[in-house]
């Protein structure tokens, strides 16, 4: 076991995959000598050279589009999108090309491209730097979407994403880049399947599902609720597509109440999808409506008011009160 931050864990995971496979390469803006704006690729260009850690022109469609071409030639490119809000110039390449290539080639072609996107708010930044666009990608068949919430998962999930033959988007919780935790570099252990949810804390009164940056918030809310004598189960979703409905359903069948928390706006979001599926699968187990805790239907607000926008412990506890009032 080694203690490291999430940023360092991704860095080490990338180092491991670059060392293991000569056809893995990293592409992105400022990922070379600078090591990326979050230093996630720090030191890698010195170790693997500019052909494998590629500082690209400043063009997101170009990054994704050329990564597709490299994948067609047998390479495994890992693209870094500098910030969540800047992925949209590459949205066309991701949704019309990358996601569909395997299907439209009748399975003849695979495009194992990984796209890393630092996402979410809470860092007091300027506009376009704090968004959570995961639902836009989850709606697109052909993509896999994962989001680690701790260093051990981060270390293994980035490597599992590179090994996957499908395109994978890794949403990295940017405000947790400096969160420290234990990493077992000898083996993934319970993290062996990146597309399975983890029950982080068992409980009997209600279930809180969260992912990425809100996982520590959900855990803190559960601890606070415990002081009031409420037993809350917390699930870290880890994967958004595919989404592990089995784990969520099993938990709801036990607790009868479900709260889903994410930073993204609730309308049309992952929480709504989970609510619909759970109502189909576990209708008779539900003691209360599924309650969503998330962002509002507005462009991500300015930094000075983001605390009012972002779900926090109190917002989850308020949702818990409502769920338990039925």
Partner 1 sequence: MGTHLPSTEFDGTAVDDQREADAEAVMGDPSAQMVQLLGPDGKLGADPVFSGYADRLTPEDLRGLYADMAAIRRFDIEATALQRQGQLALWVPLTGQEAAQIGSGRASQPQDYIFPTYREHGVALTRNVDLAELLRQFRGVSNGGWNPKETNFHLYTLVLAAQTLHAVGYAMGIQRDQKLAAGKEPDAAVIAYFGDGASSEGDVHESMVFASSYNAPVVFFCQNNHWAISVPTNVQTRVPLSNRAKGYGFPGIRVDGNDVIAVHAVTEWALEHARQGKGPVLIEAFTYRVGAHTTADDPTKYRHSDEEDAWRAKDPLSRLEKYLRAEGMADDAFFAKVKADGDELAAYVRRTAHDLENPDIRSAFANVYAGAHPLVAEELAWFEEYTAGFAGDDEAPAQHDAAAKAGH
Active site (catalytic) residues: 129
Rounded to a whole number of angstroms, the minimum distance from the CB of residue 97 to partner 1 is 5
Report, in Å, the least distance between residue 154 CB and partner 1: 21
Q: Determine if 41 is a binding residue for partner 1 (CB under 8 A).
A: no
Query: In which element (H, E) is residue 119 found?
Result: strand 114-119
Rounded Cα gap, residues 98 and 248, in angstroms: 29
Beta strands in 185-241 (DSSP E): 198-201, 206-210, 232-236, 239-241
- Under rule CB under 8 A, residue 109 binds partner 1: yes
The strand order across the sheet containing 144-146 reads: 53-55, 24-28, 76-80, 114-119, 168-173, 144-146, 239-241
Burial of 116-143, coded b for 16+ CB within 10 Å and e otherwise, reads bbbbbbbeebeeebbbbbbbbbbebebb
DSSP conformation class of 167: -
Please identify, using beta-carbon distances, which residue of 254 and 281 lies nearer to partner 1: 281
For partner 1, which stretch binds (CB under 8 A), given 141-149, 173-181, 182-190, 216-224?
Answer: 141-149
Please count the residues of this chain forming the interface with partner 1, following the rule CB under 8 A: 49
By beta-carbon proximity to partner 1, the closer residue of 12 and 60 is 60
Helices 313-324, 215-227: axis angle to 10 degrees equals 60
**Residues 24, 41, 56, 266: which binds partner 1 (CB under 8 A)?**
56
Give the per-residue contact string, 63-82, with partner 1 (x = CB under 8 A; - = no): -xxxxxxxxxxxx-x-----
Determine, following the binding rule CB under 8 A, whether residue 103 of this chain makes contact with partner 1: yes
Which residue, 126 or 141, is less far from partner 1 as judged by CB? 141
Query: How many whole angstroms separate alpha carbon 257 and alpha carbon 296?
Result: 23
Q: Closest distance between partner 1 and the C-beta of residue 137, in Å?
A: 14
Residues numbered 172 to 231 that lie near partner 1 (CB under 8 A) are: 195
Does 106 help bind partner 1 (rule: CB under 8 A)?
yes
Contact 140, 95 (CB under 8 A): yes
Minimum CB distance to partner 1 smaller for 245 or for 324: 245
Whether 115 contacts 81, CB under 8 Å: yes
Site map for partner 1, 244-273, x if CB under 8 A?
xxx---------------------------
- Pick between residue 150 and residue 241 the one whose CB is nearest to partner 1: 241
Decide if 226 contacts 313 (C-beta within 8 A): no
Residue 89: other Cβ atoms inside 10 A = 15
From 80-88, 90-98, 253-261, 302-310, span contacting partner 1 (CB under 8 A): 90-98
Residues binding partner 1 (CB under 8 A): 22, 25, 51, 56-57, 59, 61-62, 64-75, 77, 89, 92-93, 96-97, 100, 102-110, 141-142, 144, 164-166, 195, 241-246
């Amino acid at each position: 076991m080694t203690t490291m931050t999430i940023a360092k864990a991704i860095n080490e995971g990338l180092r491991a995959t670059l060392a293991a496979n000569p056809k893995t390469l990293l592409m992105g803006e400022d990922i070379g000598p600078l090591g990326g704006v979050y230093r996630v690729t720090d030191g890698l260009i010195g170790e693997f050279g500019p052909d494998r850690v590629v500082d690209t022109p400043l063009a997101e469609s170009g990054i994704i589009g050329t990564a597709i071409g490299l994948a067609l030639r047998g390479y495994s490119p890992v693209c870094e999108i500098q910030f969540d809000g800047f992925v949209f110039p590459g949205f066309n390449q991701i949704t019309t090309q990358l996601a569909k290539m395997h299907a439209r080639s009748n399975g003849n072609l695979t495009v194992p491209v990984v796209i890393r996107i630092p996402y979410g708010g809470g860092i007091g930044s300027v506009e376009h730097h704090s968004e959570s666009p995961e639902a836009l990608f989850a709606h697109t068949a052909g993509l896999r979407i994962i989001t680690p919430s701790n260093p051990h998962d981060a270390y293994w999930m980035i490597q599992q994403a590179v090994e996957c033959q499908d395109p994978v988007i890794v949403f990295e919780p940017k405000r947790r880049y400096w969160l420290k935790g234990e990493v077992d570099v000898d083996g993934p252990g319970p993290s062996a399947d990146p597309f399975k949810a983890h029950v982080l804390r068992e409980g009997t009164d209600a279930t809180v599902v969260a992912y990425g940056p809100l996982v520590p918030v959900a855990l803190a809310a559960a601890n606070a609720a415990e002081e009031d004598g409420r037993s809350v189960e917390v699930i870290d979703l880890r994967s958004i597509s595919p989404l592990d409905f089995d784990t969520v359903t099993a938990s709801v069948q036990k607790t009868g109440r479900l709260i889903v928390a994410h930073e993204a706006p609730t309308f049309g979001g992952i929480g709504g999808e989970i609510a619909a599926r759970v109502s189909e699968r576990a209708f008779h187990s539900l003691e209360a409506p599924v309650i969503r805790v998330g962002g509002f239907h507005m462009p991500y607000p300015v930094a000075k008011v983001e605390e009012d926008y972002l779900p926090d412990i109190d917002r989850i506890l308020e949702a818990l009160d409502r769920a338990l009032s039925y």
